[in-house]
Amino acid sequence: MAMVCLTDFEEYAKEHLSKATWDYYAAGADECCTRDDNLLAYKRIRLRPRILRDVSVSDTRTTVQGTEISFPVGIAPTAFHCLAWHEGEMATARGTEAVNTCYITSTYSTCSVEEIVAAAPNGYRWFQLYVYRDRKLSESIVHRVEALGYKALVLTVDVPYTGKRRNDIRNQFKLPPHLKVKNFDGVIQVMAASSEEYGIPSNTLDPSISWKDVYWLQSLTRLPIIIKGILTKEDAELAVEHGVQGIIVSNHGGRQLDGGPATIDALSEIVDTVQGRIEVYLDGGIRTGSDVLKAVALGAKCVFIGRPAVWGLAYKGEEGVREVLQILNDEFRLSMALSGCRNVAEINRNLIQFSKL
């Protein structure tokens, strides 16, 4: 079967993954309103195409944190890739490297940060980080990834506690015995099975995390710090004031607070507040090249895809990830051209018409 668009990969993954694995990746919090709205919000936004602009040559390249990538789409941090494909994050890293874009590696990887670097030595990578009650745990992983050549730290700030994902509770979701959160192998012991939450002891995350922890992180590293999980202009302003280098507008794929805004709806107020002082990125709900175009037009420097990367992995490992990215790149290039944009610099808010619906 020819894979034509990202939903083809979604259907394949749903058919071929176990129910518990599919449910884990697909889950949203509570009634999944925010998860679903991440996608629906794009359909409410209309484009205002310009014509007769000579789009015979087009260029999709852009930069993030000063590094050139092939187009403004990277891989968002998602956990447990070995559930979808035996080589897990190593395959994701190779697929992303082949397309020359950014891969944000999850703390909750089923391959270690070292294995991921070895698999794709020339890949451009950031590392996604949580702050743990045991600060030494966070500290040691920061030093590991900095030494390995990861180029930024992505601090996830929307998980003081894990959201209520109903199907995971019904399925009693656990990592199978042959898989581990590899970065903590030998560092954290998962004791009684009952106290485990997503592969690590359930009270490991620190709910006392606050803005002062951003300063603490800056004291540990010279890497740029990007905050993932901002949805309001107030927090965007605080992020700038605390000297971070970027923001990912994110609601954790609708897996944390249900009833928050779709990320594309939150983007404009954040971009308007930041006013170019730091880069603003976005994840959540990207399924087509025209979604990418809309997000870039509204001020995102780059967008990141979560679930679609996992679907690509489930389809054909490294090759599937590469195919998902390539389809998005081709669609983005076509949407750009059909809107009259020859390069990313020509994409701006004049392209957007908010529908009256």
- Residues acting as catalytic residues: 252
Burial of 192 (C-beta count, 10 Å sphere; 0-12/13-18/19+): exposed
Q: Which two tokens stand for residue 308?
A: 């679609």
Distances (CA, A) of 347 to 46, 59, 220, 285, 333: 14, 12, 37, 20, 12
Q: Is 186 annotated as a binding residue?
A: no
Q: Is 78 annotated as a binding residue?
A: yes
Q: Is 228 annotated as a binding residue?
A: yes
Q: Is 24 annotated as a binding residue?
A: yes
Q: Is 285 annotated as a binding residue?
A: yes
Q: Is 335 annotated as a binding residue?
A: no
* CA atoms within 13 Å, Cβ hemisphere of 72: 32
The alpha carbon dihedral of 60, 62, 68, 72 has a sign of negative
Q: Is 79 annotated as a binding residue?
A: yes
From the list 355, 325, 327, 351, the residue with the least C-alpha distance to 337 is 351
Strands 196-197 and 200-201: antiparallel
Collect all residues with Cβ–Cβ distance below 8 Å to 278 and sequence separation of at least 6.
239, 240, 244, 245, 246, 247
Q: Is 77 annotated as a binding residue?
A: yes
Q: Is 46 annotated as a binding residue?
A: no
**Alpha-carbon span 304 to 301, nearest angstrom:** 10
Q: Is 165 annotated as a binding residue?
A: yes
Q: Residues annotated in the binding site, as ranges?
A: 24, 77-79, 106, 128, 130, 156, 165, 228, 250, 252, 255, 283-287, 306-307
Q: Residues annotated in the binding site for glyoxylate, as ranges?
A: 24, 165, 252, 255
Q: Residues annotated in the binding site for FMN, as ranges?
A: 77-79, 106, 128, 130, 156, 228, 250, 283-287, 306-307
